[in-house]
Structure 1
């Protein structure tokens, strides 16, 4: 690389360690220059992952999705003889997915960075460390340092430019867990930052224009008008007086014929404000997040049933697609062909009810009254000890029975029959 090119790279904030890890760089290396100089866009701003994260809307959207999903329980289950899903706590992968995937990350941190890679880079990469054919740890790889090449045999050769050591190493295909985000070829995910560079660049340009407009008093607060022509020194005295009153407070004193008019927002500033609001909504579309969920108020209802519907939207249209993508990726790349027939991974989306006691109570009530869950099942989810006995028995509400079944088998049916006969008997007496 020529010295001028090296100086240009360093002027864009590239650290020597990262320069070492990239190896040989040519002027035709489009991926490298796009990464460091920013994705091309109409605004001319440099749009990278780091610069996109400096936009409040982008940061809020990716934090909402990644932090909410990463705090939900990731579990591994197996089917028993009756087809019931039982937590596979004795499987090594259960501990990695649910508690601690590697020596440096907890499960919440691991899933958060993995989801962040999907949301910003469009791909996530995890190296499977194995011993005697068993996965012992899951090591997160920074996606910007991963490259792939398909060989003539059809196999994929993975290379990782490790930013910690500065060395490039090859990772066998069976040791790589790759999850693509939205993809058009089924292999490589599309980066929202790259494809949405026009939207993010426009937002950055609008923020810069807004800052330039309102920084250091560049926008005049009002006008002082007079019915005479002033000399330059007189204008300077008036400006000095107005600035002094504006900075320290007090009463403004002007000479004969002077008037002060407060300036209102001009059309250009109003258009700038409207542009910034539109950019927020446009960026939310890229991440499929309702603006109200990141603190952007609108005309629609953000309270009561309106907010409840937005939360349903978040779970069904935003979180669930990512959860299913991860669940199927685990089954495909972390389980052996034999284990796939019995084991499956699942993200417990009902964990979102943890902060809503009323919703949890209603959920448990419906599940127990319809014979879907036992009382002990509910107690287990609330981290309470099982009671056994009748608490482990499935029960159903039997108040509603077919009319031709009343009186059969005693119990509630007999009670319902007696109540119906008494009501009919009272009706006949009233008619007499």
Structure 2
């Protein structure tokens, strides 16, 4: 693997394989920051967007229904699957936790898998699989998806479709999902770069709050004393302290420049850019500069009908496809 690291110029860190390093290099952005599904969560906008959508799906009740003879429906509480989807998919995970975690994985990776345990033809347990442990390929003859699971020791095995529950965000490929964090990695990387720049700026007190002028030339000892006084008064947690000036030095405060204002505007633009990818209204991300009561209410309604509802449709149809047995669950639906 040494030649691979030389080609890509990679530095291997503790616990990283060469393959993981190559994948990270492939996620490098124009801003010079590598963006992966995990590092994307360092962006407050991505983190908030993922939480908003995953919690919106997780907080809604999930019921199993039975169709009556006259077309009426009632909750099928006596069905074994009802308890799993409504209460506990497995003994250590609640339904809300499971759906929120699965939804977060879909938003970050483009798809999420869960192992489906069956007994006597009935689903008895649903356990979420770790991201990236299950890969999808397409059968060259039938076009059907082929799933393979990778164990911790590197061994792989093919998994039948009946043993998996899968939710994905569809893209141009009929089998592979659309990863939002991968497609929007440049926008996310720029947002992370600006956050890092702002953090370094304030940590070191790099932005001058004003200028100091003197009438006469200072010797090196006076310059050093004044520099230390400025550092102690403005660096890091000491920002806002009192400077001690000498030799008639005068301090003149600086106002925000057009460059400063442009930087703030660019940060607001990146919030909108990332929100556009996840289709999150800006007022839900606490970006209220242009929000009014009327447009916030309207955008909230559009968020439910145009963003949340499509996700609920994906979930409902995926649950019916992977968990309901047509031969044994006639008249049962979600």
SS in 1 for 2:91: coil
From 179, 182, 192, the equivalent of 2:180 is 192
Larger RCO: 1 or 2 (CA < 8 Å, sep 6+): 2
| CA gap 1:326/1:270 in 2 versus in 1, 3 angstroms | same
Structure of greater Rg: 1
Q: Separation in 2 of the partners of 1:117 and 1:229?
A: 62
Stretch moving more, 74-83 or 308-317: 308-317
Question: 1:241: Cα distance to partner?
Answer: 4.7
Q: How does 1:170-181 map to 2 (within 5 A)?
A: 170-181=158-169
Bigger fraction of residues in helix: 1
- Taking the TM superposition and a 5 Å limit, the aligned residue runs for 1:70-149 are 70-149=58-137
The 1:34/1:277 distance shift into structure 2, 3 A limit, reads farther
What is the number of residues matched between the two proteins?
327
Question: Given the alignment, which residue of 296, 300, 303 partners 2:291?
Answer: 300
**Structure 1 partner of 2:270:** 279
Q: CA deviation at 1:145?
A: 1.5
Determine the structure 2 residue equivalent to 1:201: 189
Q: 2:223: which partner in 1?
A: 235
Residues 114, 140 of structure 1: 8 Å contact kept: yes
Going from structure 1 to structure 2, the CA distance change for 1:251 and 1:231 (only over 3 Å counts) comes to: closer
Give the TM-score normalised by the residue count of structure 2.
Answer: 0.87
**8 Å contact kept, 2:116–2:123:** yes
Tell me if structure 2 keeps the 8 A contact 1:210–1:272.
Answer: no
2:318 equivalent in structure 1:
329
- How does the TM-score come out when normalised to structure 1? 0.68
Distance 1:58 1:237 in 2: 45
How many Å apart are 1:5 and its aligned residue? 4.9
| Inter-partner Cα distance in structure 2 for 1:45 and 1:181 | 25
Please tell me whether the aligned partners of residues 38 and 48 of structure 1 are also in contact (alpha carbons under 8 angstroms): no
* Aligned-pair Cα RMSD in Å: 2.8
Deviation at 1:294, TM superposition (A): 2.1
Q: CA deviation at 1:314?
A: 2.3
Gaps of 5+ in 1: 20-24, 346-432
| Corresponding position of 1:388 | none
1:191-212 CA deviation, whole Å, 9 max, x = no partner? 0111111111111111122222
* Cα distance change of structure 1 residues 10 and 79 upon mapping to structure 2, 3 Å threshold: farther
Gaps of 5+ in 2: none
